[in-house]
């Protein structure tokens, strides 16, 4: 099944996406995060049917408690950035107010032109926990989505701590839908790609990850509790714009797409701030 968060007629809601129709399920929970907490996604809920074109998609989880991101988690990307191999995943955080949905543009800020794309698989936590063992980690996953961890590279590289470059407003594209695991199949074969103006820039399958999803969940949950609706962005493949010669930056008027097999396509326009 596929679930979305959306805005319709001056209110926020959530529902089930089937083809070009959205079933509004707000009568059962105020938002998708609450529906996950109450374990409603596997139930046969019904509600008003809306046309997809009549709703404005929000970030899949508009109000996550945590957004945890994994850096340099594909071998090709690690090599292109010159990073040494490590025994543990590199983790940084995003703020919830940087997220946008599939119907919103990515905004290049006034203070930088070094805006880069990063196609990623987002994992959404369904069942919370602490000290989750890797062999049980997938029991805590409610679904997956596309994520574009758009980054301002100059701000990322001001210091060793690159939080600023990852947290400009309207740079974390997240959507269009939460896809439940039964629709995805073999995770290792899932392919993550990015396209900039229809040119393929990144492409890798999940079996090229240095740290698997279960390993990341186990590591993260050792230092912080995971809760329903928390999001883990699992890293980007090689081919980022910053490491091309010459560098390739996203600019106003561009179209960037994150395409993940079995999960969907997230297309964003790029606009200039102000």
Interior angle at CA 75, CA 69 and CA 80, nearest 5: 90
Encoded tokens for 215: 């390993």
Q: Which of 27-31, 60-64, 84-88 is predicted least confidently?
A: 84-88
Between CA 73 and CA 240 the distance in angstroms is 13
Q: Examine the pLDDT at 95 and tell me if it is beyond 90.
A: yes
Q: Examine the pLDDT at 78 and tell me if it is beyond 90.
A: no
**Mean pLDDT over each residue of the chain, to the nearest integer:** 96
Encoded tokens for 219: 């590591």
How confident is the model over 176-210, as pLDDT tens digits?
999 999 999 899 999 999 999 999 999 999 999 99
Q: Examine the pLDDT at 99 and tell me if it is beyond 90.
A: yes
Encoded tokens for 117: 């794309």
How confident is the model over 241-259, as pLDDT tens digits?
999 999 999 999 999 999 9
Interior angle at CA 236, CA 234 and CA 239, nearest 5: 170
Q: Examine the pLDDT at 86 and tell me if it is beyond 90.
A: no
How confident is the model over 24-53, as pLDDT tens digits?
999 999 999 999 999 999 888 999 999 999
Name the pTM for this structure: 0.97
The domains found in the chain, sorted by start residue, are: 2-57 (no CATH), 67-272 (3.90.850.10)
Between CA 46 and CA 85 the distance in angstroms is 49
- E strand residue ranges, the chain: 2-8, 11-18, 21-24, 49-51, 56-57, 67-71, 90-94, 99-100, 106-108, 115-116, 119-125, 141-149, 151-152, 172-179, 191-196, 199-205, 231-233, 255-260, 264-272
- Asked if 125 and 227 touch (Cβ cutoff 8 Å), the reply is yes
* Model confidence band, residue 235 (pLDDT cutoffs 50, 70, 90): very high
Mean pLDDT of 212-217: 98
3-state secondary structure (DSSP) of residue 96: helix
User: In the prediction, which pLDDT does 88 show?
Assistant: 96
Say whether the peptide bond before residue 246 is cis (omega within 30 degrees of 0).
yes
User: In the prediction, which pLDDT does 82 show?
Assistant: 79
How confident is the model over 260-270, as pLDDT tens digits?
999 999 999 99
Instruction: Report which of residues 83 and 121 the model is more confident about.
Output: 121
User: In the prediction, which pLDDT does 77 show?
Assistant: 85
């Amino acid at each position: 099944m596929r679930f979305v968060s959306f805005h319709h007629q001056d209110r926020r809601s959530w529902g089930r996406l089937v083809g070009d129709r959205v079933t509004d399920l707000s009568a059962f929970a105020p938002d998708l995060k609450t529906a996950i907490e109450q374990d409603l996604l596997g139930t046969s809920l019904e509600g008003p049917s809306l046309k997809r074109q009549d709703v404005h998609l929000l970030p899949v989880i508009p109000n996550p408690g945590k957004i945890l991101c994994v850096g340099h988690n594909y071998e090709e990307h690690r090599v292109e950035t010159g990073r040494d191999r490590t025994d543990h995943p590199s983790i940084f955080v995003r703020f919830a107010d940087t997220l946008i949905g599939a119907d919103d543009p990515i905004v290049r800020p006034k203070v930088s032109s070094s805006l880069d794309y990063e196609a990623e698989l987002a994992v959404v936590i369904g069942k919370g926990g602490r000290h989750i063992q890797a062999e049980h980690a997938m029991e805590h996953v409610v679904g997956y989505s596309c994520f574009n961890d758009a980054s301002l590279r100059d701000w990322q590289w001001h210091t060793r701590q690159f939080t600023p470059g990852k947290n400009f407003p309207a740079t974390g594209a997240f959507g269009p839908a939460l896809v439940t695991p039964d629709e995805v199949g073999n995770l290792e074969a899932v392919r993550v790609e990015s396209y900039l103006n229809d040119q393929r820039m990144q492409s890798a399958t999940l079996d090229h990850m240095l740290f698997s999803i279960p390993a990341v969940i186990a590591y993260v949950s050792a230092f912080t509790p995971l809760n329903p609706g928390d999001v883990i962005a699992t890293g980007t493949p090689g081919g980022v714009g910053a490491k091309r010669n010459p560098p390739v930056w996203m600019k106003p008027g561009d179209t960037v797409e994150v395409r993940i097999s079995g999960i969907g396509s997230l297309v964003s326009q790029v606009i200039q701030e102000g």
